[in-house]
Amino acid sequence: MKIDSATLQAPSPLAVAERGPTPSGRITPANPGFCKVLGHIDPIDPKAPPIKFQVNLPVEWNGRSVQYGGGGFNGVLITGLGLPPAYPFDKPSPLARGFVTYGTDSGHESKPGEPPQVFALNDEAFENFAHRAYKKVRDASVALMERAYGKKPEKMYFMGSSEGGREGLTMAQRYPDDFDGIFARVPVINWVGLQHAGTRSGLVTMGEGWINPAQVKLFADAVRTACDKADGSDKTLVHDPVACKAVFKVETLRCEAGKAGDQCLTEAQIKAVSTLHGTYKFPFVLANDLDDYPGWGVSGEDTPAFGPTGGWSAWWLGRAPPAQPPAPNNGIAWIYGAGGIQYVFARDPKLDVTTYKVEDHKARLLEVSKLMDSTDPDLGRFRGRGGRLIVLEHMADYAQSPYAGIRYFESVERKLGKAETAEFARLYTAPGVDHVGSGAPANVDMLSALVDWVEKGKAPGDLEVTEQKVESPSFAVLRAMPLCRWPAWPRYKSGPVTEAASFTCAP
């Protein structure tokens, strides 16, 4: 560990940007006086990049810390100064509450104009991205806290979303003694499966399979018509997307013979949707005895893009059919998946992805799966030392399939037992919410829920999520809903559909 700089930062005010990559990304919370430490950890391989990190040491420390996870393929320094995943916009930031906060770039820096997966050509850089960087930065941060305050932290927490959610589960599985509480939102746990399923879903939209924005709305309207009334509220939100996926049939939108247009789907487009919804199957077994990736669900297909994110158009389809090399107007799943095939699995930047065959790269897939797939259900050691885990899946997520996280949680229950799992872990599912928290109520203070569980023994039950206006200083609540423990869903009782009290959680 080498300290590059340490500067005392004066208290800063709340600021809200006009635009941002996510709703919470527009908010720079008010922070107190703190010491900002920038550092790096040198690599073993001189050709590998260093691991950069930032640690924020508040003047008034509460004895706790929060490590923030990253996103995508990382390559950007996570400062720990923003809001953690799902965090209400109007709550004091963890740093303002007295937590030491910190994050890392995971051991590489993304450069403008380069594919985000270039770093994966270096073995050490990729292993740092997989798990080593987060462990090394965690340990370096503990050493800094001890140096600054004269003692180690009393409790340590990890909060991450997407790739950061995978990192959180990685820490619970690989380093079960390091954290007391972990929150993993929309975790990309079956990483190898996601890259291949995302690529496959892109390949079927090349040419005639691509679906235009008007047809996306057609599909989303059909889903709402078929499923929205089931809970009794009839307010454009599918409350039980699992049941909806079972009953909704894309074939009902098939064009009549010889016809095409915005009011129906062609055979190629129906095949594309069925591919998205279907399971991706590998011809061999990957880490933890998995050989597939579950398909995506229904609802939220036309969620408006918030910056680059939202619904099918952002994650799956983009604004144009997939290109090689991936273009900026392609869907994010194609940009990530096709680039992953080239740089991570085939390790051939010039590969024509349409010619890629999984069987030809079995050894590399097994190697990557062992590094990246956070799918080990044996959390016995984490549970045994008092660790607490909360997983949150968004059911209108098209960046990764929420069914992967649901399946993982159920595998933990099978491994350890349902009653035993309930002692230390929770899975929540949020209907209508996309990957980054748009589309439906999604804000909830999971940090306080973890602290209460870890430090007071208060296990969380069903919670409440809110949708807030990104407008300071009030951040007014637009609507609220129950956040139900899996496998329950919000059921409408009576009253205003914008209030959580109008619903109950029911299986």
Kindly report, residue by residue over 481-499, the tens digit of the pLDDT: 999 999 999 999 999 989 9
265-279, 298-312, 323-337, 464-478: lowest mean pLDDT where? Answer: 298-312
Q: Which pLDDT value is given to residue 472?
A: 86
Q: Is residue 172 predicted with pLDDT exceeding 60?
A: yes
Assess whether 213 and 339 both reside in one domain: yes
Pairing of strands 388-394, 503-506: unpaired
Range of the domain at 362: 193-372
Q: Which pLDDT value is given to residue 22?
A: 84
Q: Which pLDDT value is given to residue 308?
A: 60
Q: Mean pLDDT over residues 132-145, rounded?
A: 98
Assess whether 420 and 323 both reside in one domain: no
Assess whether 163 and 205 both reside in one domain: no
Q: Is residue 21 predicted with pLDDT exceeding 90?
A: no
Q: Which pLDDT value is given to residue 19?
A: 82
Based on the residue annotation, tell me whether 196 is a catalytic residue of this protein: no
Q: Which two tokens stand for residue 279?
A: 């399971």
Q: What residues form DSSP beta bridges with 65?
A: 100, 156
Q: Taking a C-beta distance cutoff of 8 angstroms, is the pair 218, 253 a contact?
A: yes
Q: Which two tokens stand for residue 8?
A: 């005392």
Burial status of residue 393 (CB atoms within 10 A of its CB: 0-12, 13-18, 19 or more): buried
In this structure, is the dihedral angle defined by the CA atoms of residues 118, 120, 126 and 129, taken in order, positive or negative?
positive
Find where tokens 């420390």 sit.
61
Query: For residue 439, what is the domain's CATH number?
Result: 3.40.50.1820
Q: Mean pLDDT over residues 223-246, rounded?
A: 81
Q: Mean pLDDT over residues 10-35, rounded?
A: 91
Q: Which pLDDT value is given to residue 232?
A: 56
Pairing of strands 292-293, 280-281: antiparallel
User: Closest Cα partner for 435 from 306, 247, 329, 348?
Assistant: 306
Based on the residue annotation, tell me whether 162 is a catalytic residue of this protein: yes
Q: Which residue in the list 24, 93, 162, 374 is annotated as catalytic?
A: 162
DSSP string, 193-217: HHHHHHHHHHHTTSGGG---HHHHH
Pick the last residue of a domain from 354, 372, 390. Answer: 372
pLDDT band at 307 (very low <50, low <70, confident <90, very high): low
Q: Which two tokens stand for residue 10?
A: 């004066």
pLDDT band at 228 (very low <50, low <70, confident <90, very high): confident
CA–CA separation, 195 and 66 (whole Å): 29
Pick the last residue of a domain from 320, 341, 372. Answer: 372
Assess whether 262 and 118 both reside in one domain: no
> How much is the mean pLDDT over the chain?
95
Q: Mean pLDDT over residues 386-401, rounded?
A: 98
Q: How much of the chain exceeds pLDDT 70, in percent?
A: 98
pLDDT band at 304 (very low <50, low <70, confident <90, very high): confident
Q: Which pLDDT value is given to residue 20?
A: 80
Assess whether 147 and 174 both reside in one domain: yes
Q: Which pLDDT value is given to residue 442?
A: 95
Q: Mean pLDDT over residues 347-362, rounded?
A: 97
pLDDT digits (tens, 9 = 90+) for 436-449: 999 999 999 999 99
Q: Taking a C-beta distance cutoff of 8 angstroms, is the pair 45, 124 a contact?
A: yes
pLDDT band at 234 (very low <50, low <70, confident <90, very high): low
pLDDT band at 229 (very low <50, low <70, confident <90, very high): low
Q: Is residue 350 predicted with pLDDT exceeding 70?
A: yes
Assess whether 113 and 24 both reside in one domain: yes
pLDDT digits (tens, 9 = 90+) for 48-100: 999 999 999 999 999 999 999 999 999 999 999 999 999 999 999 999 999 99
Assess whether 313 and 461 both reside in one domain: no
Q: Bigger pLDDT: 423 or 472?
A: 423
pTM of the model: 0.97
Characterize 229-245 residue by residue with b for buried, 16 or more Cβ atoms within 10 angstroms of its Cβ, and e for exposed: ebbebeeebbbbbbebb
Q: Which residue in the list 105, 228, 397, 434 is annotated as catalytic?
A: 397
Based on the residue annotation, tell me whether 360 is a catalytic residue of this protein: no
Q: Which pLDDT value is given to residue 280?
A: 98
Question: Which ranges of 228-280 does DSSP label H, i.e. alpha helix?
Answer: 241-247, 267-277
Assess whether 205 and 233 both reside in one domain: yes
Assess whether 244 and 305 both reside in one domain: yes
Pick the last residue of a domain from 357, 372, 387. Answer: 372
Q: Taking a C-beta distance cutoff of 8 angstroms, is the pair 107, 132 a contact?
A: yes
Q: Is residue 231 predicted with pLDDT exceeding 60?
A: no
Q: Mean pLDDT over residues 438-466, rounded?
A: 97
CA–CA separation, 167 and 203 (whole Å): 28
Assess whether 199 and 112 both reside in one domain: no
Backbone phi and psi for residue 26, each to the nearest 5 degrees, phi listed first: -80, -15
Task: Supply the DSSP symbol for 294.
Answer: P
Assess whether 251 and 390 both reside in one domain: no
Domains in the chain: how many in total? 2
Assess whether 213 and 164 both reside in one domain: no
Sequence letter at residue 504: T
Measured distance between the N- and C-terminal CA atoms of the chain, rounded to whole angstroms: 50
Find where tokens 């590059």 sit.
4
Task: Supply the DSSP symbol for 286.
Answer: -
